[in-house]
Copies of this chain bind each other. A is one copy, B any other.
Amino acid sequence: MEDGDVITIGRLAAYAGVTIKAVRHYTKRGLLEEPARDSSGYRRYGARHAIELVKIKTLADAGVPLARVKELLAADPDQFAAAIGEIDRALKEKAAEIERARARMALLRTDALFVSAEVARYLDRLAGLGISRRQIESERDIWILLHAVAPDEARAWVADKIEALGDPEFRAIYRATDDAYGWEADDPRLPDLARRSREWLAARPPLPMPADPSIAQLVTAQPGASSPAWDRLAALMRG
């Protein structure tokens, strides 16, 4: 046992602010020199161990993997200084990530995280027009699926939809269709609504249809949302 090797593992750990288990772990991993043992087999550490342990803790707290810490403890001063610079940059990046995480957390109770900025704008427009929550959620779900399966086409389609909302006739048809969800299947207003829809669609250049038929079905089918009046409306529009 060397002259200065006097402190027990518990004292050493407390001095550096780490656990005893961590000290033993660092020794096993080769970061901390294997200490001398006293007559009871207890590890006895010296000042050099304390210094190395504080270095290890400082680097580990900075998120440096232990394998890298081991390299750094053996590095020359120039390499060490360069590494410190890199680690500091990484810490700054981590801090920025935390701020981004905070910003995203704040949006968790809105729809903003689940759809693109354009779709969010589009859904806001619908809400402004008095469209029902049910319909807006249905639209949101469709746009999520479209963006997942065909991101590029989805962007074009949502731009087209936003543009369509500029047309008063489209807005009127959209609102009426939303209302129609709860009508009776034999409501006398349905044939007229179907006619107006057909006329509006006929007057517009058709949207480029997607290659994948399952996507086409998505665009037209409004999955998950159906009602007797809507089924009737769909039938009237087909012919």
Q: Which residues of A are in contact with B by a Cβ distance under 8 Å?
A: 2-4, 6-7, 11-12, 14-15, 46-48, 50-51, 54-55, 58-59, 61-63, 77, 80-81, 84, 87-88, 91-92, 94-95, 97-99, 101-102, 104-106, 108-109, 113-114, 140-142, 144-145, 147-149, 214, 218, 221, 223-224
Contacts and interface: CB of A to CB of B under 8 A. Distances in A.
Please report whether the interface of chain A is mostly helix, strand, loop or mixed according to DSSP: helix
A62 B103 CA distance: 10
Q: How many copies make up the complex?
A: 2
A97 B17 CA distance: 15
Contact of A62 (B55, B84, B101): B101
Contacts of A3: 221, 223-224
Most chain-B CB neighbours within 10 Å: which of A4, A15, A48, A113? Answer: A4
Contacts of A140: 47
A4 B47 contact: no
Contacts of A58: 101, 104-105, 108, 113
Contact of A145 (B7, B81, B104, B142): B7
B144 A51 contact: yes
Contacts of A149: 6-7, 11
Which 4 interchain pairs have the tightest Cβ spacing?
A: A47-B141, A4-B223, A3-B223, A47-B144
